[in-house]
Copies of this chain bind each other. A is one copy, B any other.
Amino acid sequence: MTENYMAQAIKMAHQAVKMGEVPVGAVIVNDKGEVITQTHNLCEIYGDPTAHAEMLAIKMACEQTKSQRLDNCDIYVTLEPCPMCAMALSHARIRRVYFGAYDPKSGGVDHGPQIYTHAAAHHKPEVIGGIQLKECGKILSDFFLKKR
C-alpha cells in the first residue's frame, strides 16, 4: 500500500512539472486508507514561497476533516520535508511522515535542524524515509537539469 500512495504522490509531482512548479507531490491518507488530499508545490502559481506541497495538503486535510488534528492520518511526500513543512506536520499532529528522496541541502527531518529531535516539536510523527527514492529524486533532478 505504501508504494501505491507514494506512486500517487509521484503522479502529483509529475503534474507539477507540467505547471512549471518544483515537482514535489504529497498525499494525505486517513486511517481507513482513503486518500483525502493530493497536491503539489504551487509556489509559482500562488506567488507564495510557503505554498509547498505539504503545507497545502495539511490545509486541505484540515478543511476536509474539519479538524486541526490529523492524528489518524499519514502523509506521503516525494521529498524530505523542509524545516517549515516538518514543523507544520508536527503542528497538525500527523501520525506518520513517509517521504521519498532525501534532501541533504534543504531537508529538515533527517538533515539540517532535524526538527523532530527538538522539544519545540511537541508532537513527533513517526518518520519513514527513502521510499521509491530513486524515482522521487529523478523527477527533481530532471526538472532542474531542464531549467539550466
Contact = CB atoms under 8 A, between A and B. Distances in A.
A11 interface: no
**What secondary structure prevails in chain A residues at the interface with B?**
loop
A34 interface: no
A138 interface: no
**Copies of chain A in the complex:** 2
Contact of A82 (B82, B119, B120): B120
A135 to B, nearest CB: 24
A47 B55 CA distance: 14
Contacts of A84: 83-85, 87-88, 91
7 contacts: A47-B63, A49-B88, A50-B59, A82-B87, A83-B84, A107-B120, A111-B120
